[in-house]
């Protein structure tokens, strides 16, 4: 694929996660706010943007510095050059265009890997440091992350409502290994999580669905639990109680405020970890096992 042929690193938007498995050493992920990632982008010789609009939340309102040589590929002719100047634009389907680029590299006899020596090692280092830096800000919430992540099958669809924990780690640190298995709201409005989880559960043909939602957002559509029960949909909802969090300081890697656990809320953390165990136990139920088996068959 193009990333490996170029010897490049892949930086994704929230909705682009999974286009390359985040287990792949070339995948940096959704970390455009990290200082090491910013430096990597700034110092690159070339940036190829595919299907992204460089929206404000992911570029710190367009303060993020990009290399002067920017090639922007999008199916909408109005997108390239809208938010950042481009050296070249390609208006076409992403899959067709990337395959054409690979064919073009073969025709001109380009080296097997175009990147300079040591660039891949720097990509791996930056991907690791960005994750460690974010984990260091989570406090006891890292226990929830580490308890939930092993429960997720590669085919599990993760839906994130607009809630602080989703912004901080759900959209970045929960692993995504396949396309279309990470769903988040583009509007930042609360309450869309459960309806989106319903659609994912129906559309993914019984693959398991996990929903992360805040209490207020979940209540906006809580009556749809009747639909979940009636249709026997494989959805597990993890409700994050913001009342247990307090505003602390500006988060260095996010456009939203950081929320940290007060020391006195150890009991709340324990309840969250028990919730993780319930998620794990629910995944063993007969209903969700059908989804897991379906995911396993699809990956075979």
pLDDT in tens, 228-275: 999 999 999 998 876 554 433 334 443 333 333 333 344 555 565 566
- The sign of the CA dihedral 62, 7, 128, 159 is positive
- Position 296 scores a pLDDT of 55
Fold of 2-129: Rossmann fold (3.40.50)
Cβ–Cβ < 8 Å for 30, 12: yes
Name residue 70's beta-bridge partners: 47
What percent of the chain has a predicted confidence (pLDDT) above 90?
Answer: 57
Compute φ and ψ for 184, nearest 5 degrees: -145, 155
Does this model's pTM top 0.85? no
Dump strand ranges (E) for 122-276.
Answer: 157-160, 182-184, 209-214, 235-240, 246-250, 257-260
Q: Average per-residue pLDDT in the chain?
A: 83
Task: Delimit the CATH 3.40.50.970 region(s) of the chain.
Answer: 137-299
Q: Which residue has the tokens 């249709």?
A: 231
Between the two ends of the chain, the Cα-to-Cα distance in Å is 21
Compute φ and ψ for 26, nearest 5 degrees: -85, -10
CATH of region 137-299, choose from 3.30.70.120, 3.50.50.60, 3.40.30.10, 3.40.50.970: 3.40.50.970
- Position 253 scores a pLDDT of 41
Cβ–Cβ < 8 Å for 70, 84: yes
């Amino acid at each position: 694929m193009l990333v490996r042929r170029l010897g490049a690193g892949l930086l994704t938007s929230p909705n682009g996660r999974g286009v390359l498995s985040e287990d792949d050493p070339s995948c940096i992920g959704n970390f455009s706010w990290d200082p090491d990632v910013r430096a990597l982008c700034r110092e690159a010789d070339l940036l190829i943007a595919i299907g992204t609009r460089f929206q404000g939340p992911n570029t710190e309102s367009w303060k993020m510095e990009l290399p002067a040589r920017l090639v922007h590929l999008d199916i909408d002719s109005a997108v390239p050059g809208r938010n950042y100047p481009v050296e070249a634009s390609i208006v076409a389907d992403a899959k067709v265009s990337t395959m054409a680029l690979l064919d073009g590299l073969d025709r001109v006899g380009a080296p097997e890997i175009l990147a300079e020596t040591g660039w891949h090692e720097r990509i791996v280092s930056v991907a690791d440091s960005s994750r460690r830096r974010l984990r260091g800000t989570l406090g006891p919430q890292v226990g929830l992350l580490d308890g939930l992540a092993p429960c997720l099958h590669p085919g599990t669809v993760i839906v994130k409502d607009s809630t602080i924990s989703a912004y901080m780690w759900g959209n970045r640190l929960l692993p995504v290994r396949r396309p279309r298995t990470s769903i988040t709201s583009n509007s930042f409005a609360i309450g869309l999580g459960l309806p989106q989880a319903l659609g994912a559960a129906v559309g993914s043909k019984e693959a398991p669905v996990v929903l992360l939602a805040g209490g207020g957002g979940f209540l906006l559509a809580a009556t749809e639990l009747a639909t979940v029960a009636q249709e026997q949909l494989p959805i597990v909802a993890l409700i994050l109680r913001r009342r247990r969090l307090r505003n602390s300081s500006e988060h260095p890697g996010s456009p939203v405020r950081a929320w940290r656990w007060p020391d006195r809320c150890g009991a709340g953390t324990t309840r969250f970890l028990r919730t993780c165990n319930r998620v794990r136990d629910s995944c063993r139920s007969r209903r969700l096992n059908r989804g897991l088996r379906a995911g396993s068959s699809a990956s075979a």
